[in-house]
């Protein structure tokens, strides 16, 4: 029997996630020294990993023969205190990517659908399709969420509405009022999955705890990958009602968040200095890149997150030319945006190098 006749139907047509190119790949492909390569493609933290997290992790290597705490007891207590939630309202994940998938697993039947923006995080679509459910991609005119169109796309078979704010890859931002009005207009049978991966970079991030408190079906997602620079460890979580968290935790693999990720996340939550530095560097870098883009007369979107979208002709060619000089950025062809590049904001020196190489191509 051919394997294709054995695997689940939804797997046969499942698209493959296109990640930002790792430094080593580009080094091999173009014969470059990996140490000289600058990656501004995956919204990673240019300052490196959170200082306190590295210290805590390096002291904890001796206990790796033990399984992790599957319930993330200490980390859960710490987050619940900080957030004013109960530990039973939390769902931990191997990155918040996993929590997205867990939400889909817990909620979607094959006859259901999930609503999302056409240019929002691709994992919403992948997780939906993996469950054999329908991914309803709502157009985003001007690369912004069209909340009315999203409401219109919701029907009796809709289980989840996914939304990232700031959005990835477009970087566009919605206000607290826009988000609250939208959620309050959703029917009761829909769970609103609100992805806050980049909210830490906002001066006044939307706070959805009020929606949970008023009994709305809402789950917020947070990650340690971006502001704390811990993408390689994989640590994220969701927060929602106890009832919803209870069901999502049923489909969670017991030891999904590894020991070092838990330890690093706990230490990171105490590292206010790193957090503030990351935020400040991002702000400074945004201004630096915007200034040069303005001088070059480029169209760009720079509202939120730790990245900027810039419109250029032949974006793929420019992406390729940048790789050849050791600078990796992110094309958006997969999102139906062939004229846009997404640039992760770096350190001042990194931004300068990118801008110099980029300007040569225009
Ligand atoms: C980076 C990112 C995440 C977080 O991913 P992790 O799995 O926690 O590393 C989630 N959502 C969006 C939109 C992101 O860009």
- Tens-place pLDDT, residues 269-322: 999 999 999 999 999 999 999 999 999 999 999 999 999 999 999 999 999 999
Answer yes or no: are the C-beta atoms of 304 and 173 closer than 8 Å: yes
Closest atom of ligand 1 to 305 CA is 15
pLDDT recorded at residue 239: 98
**Burial tier of 123 (Cβ tally within 10 Å: 0-12, 13-18, 19+):** buried
Ligand 1 proximity of 223 Cβ (cutoff 6 Å): yes
| Percent of the chain residues past pLDDT 70, beyond the cut | 100
Answer yes or no: are the C-beta atoms of 157 and 187 closer than 8 Å: no
Q: What residue's CA is closest to ligand 1, atom 3?
A: 197
pLDDT recorded at residue 19: 77
Q: Which residue has the higher pLDDT, 21 or 328?
A: 328
- What would the mean pLDDT of 13-31 be, rounded to a whole number? 87
Ligand 1 proximity of 199 Cβ (cutoff 6 Å): no
Question: Is the peptide bond preceding residue 139 cis, with omega within 30 degrees of 0?
Answer: no
213 CA to middle of ligand 1, Å? 25
What would the pLDDT profile of 220-260 be if each residue is shown by its tens digit?
999 999 999 999 999 999 999 999 999 999 999 999 999 99
Ligand 1 pocket: which of 45, 121, 220 to mutate (most atoms <8 Å of CB)? 121
Domains of the chain, with CATH numbers?
3-48+272-361 (3.90.1150.10), 51-268 (3.40.640.10)
The pLDDT mean for the chain works out to: 96
Confidence of residue 18 (pLDDT cuts 50, 70, 90): confident
pLDDT recorded at residue 21: 78
The three-point CA angle 214-70-108 to 5° equals 50
Question: Is the peptide bond preceding residue 336 cis, with omega within 30 degrees of 0?
Answer: no
Q: What is the pTM of this model?
A: 0.96
pLDDT recorded at residue 16: 85
If phi over 0 gives left and psi between -120 and 50 gives alpha, with beta otherwise, what is residue 67? beta
Integer Cα distance of 225 and 163 in angstroms:
18
Confidence of residue 156 (pLDDT cuts 50, 70, 90): very high
What would the pLDDT profile of 80-130 be if each residue is shown by its tens digit?
999 999 999 999 999 999 999 999 999 999 999 999 999 999 999 999 999
Answer yes or no: are the C-beta atoms of 138 and 167 closer than 8 Å: no
pLDDT recorded at residue 334: 86
Ligand 1 proximity of 239 Cβ (cutoff 6 Å): no
Q: How many CB atoms lie within 10 A of CB 291?
A: 11
Least confident of 14-18, 61-65, 92-96, 192-196: 14-18
**In this structure, what DSSP letter does residue 17 have?**
P
- What would the mean pLDDT of 188-211 be, rounded to a whole number? 97
Integer Cα distance of 74 and 256 in angstroms:
15
- What would the mean pLDDT of 198-208 be, rounded to a whole number? 97
pLDDT recorded at residue 190: 98
β-strands 299-301, 330-332 pairing: unpaired
């Amino acid at each position: 029997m051919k394997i294709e006749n054995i695997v689940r139907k939804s797997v046969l047509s499942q698209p493959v996630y296109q990640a930002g190119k790792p430094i080593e790949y580009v080094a091999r492909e173009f014969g470059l020294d990996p140490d000289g390569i600058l990656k501004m493609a995956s919204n990673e933290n240019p300052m490196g990993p959170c200082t306190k997290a590295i210290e805590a992790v390096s002291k904890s290597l001796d206990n790796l023969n033990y399984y992790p705490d599957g319930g993330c007891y200490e980390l859960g207590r710490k987050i619940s205190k900080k957030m004013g939630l109960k530990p039973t309202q939390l769902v931990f994940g191997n990155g918040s990517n996993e929590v997205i998938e867990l939400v889909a697993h817990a909620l979607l039947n094959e006859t259901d659908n999930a609503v999302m923006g056409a240019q929002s995080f691709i994992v919403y679509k992948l997780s939906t399709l993996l469950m054999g459910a329908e991914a309803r991609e709502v157009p985003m005119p001007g690369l912004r969420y069209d909340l009315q169109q999203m409401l219109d796309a919701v029907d009796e078979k809709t289980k989840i509405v996914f939304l990232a704010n700031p959005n990835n890859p477009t970087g566009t931002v919605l206000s607290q009022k826009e988000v609250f009005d939208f959620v309050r207009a959703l029917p009761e049978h829909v769970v609103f999955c609100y992805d806050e991966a980049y909210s830490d970079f906002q001066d006044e991030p939307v706070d959805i705890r009020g929606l949970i408190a008023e009994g709305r079906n809402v789950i917020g997602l947070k990650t340690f990958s971006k502001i704390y620079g811990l993408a390689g460890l994989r640590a994220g979580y969701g927060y929602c009602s106890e009832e919803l968290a209870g069901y999502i935790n049923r489909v969670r693999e017991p030891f999904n968040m590894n020991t070092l990720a838990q330890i690093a996340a706990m230490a990171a939550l105490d590292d206010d200095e790193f957090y503030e530095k990351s935020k400040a560097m991002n702000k400074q870098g945004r201004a630096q890149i915007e200034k040069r883009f303005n001088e070059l007369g480029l169209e760009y979107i720079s509202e939120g997150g730790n990245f900027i979208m810039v419109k250029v002709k032949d974006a793929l060619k420019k992406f390729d030319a940048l790789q050849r000089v050791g600078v990796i950025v992110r094309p958006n062809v997969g999102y139906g945006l062939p004229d846009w590049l997404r640039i992760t904001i770096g350190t001042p020196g990194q931004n300068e190098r990118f801008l110099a190489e980029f300007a040569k191509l225009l």
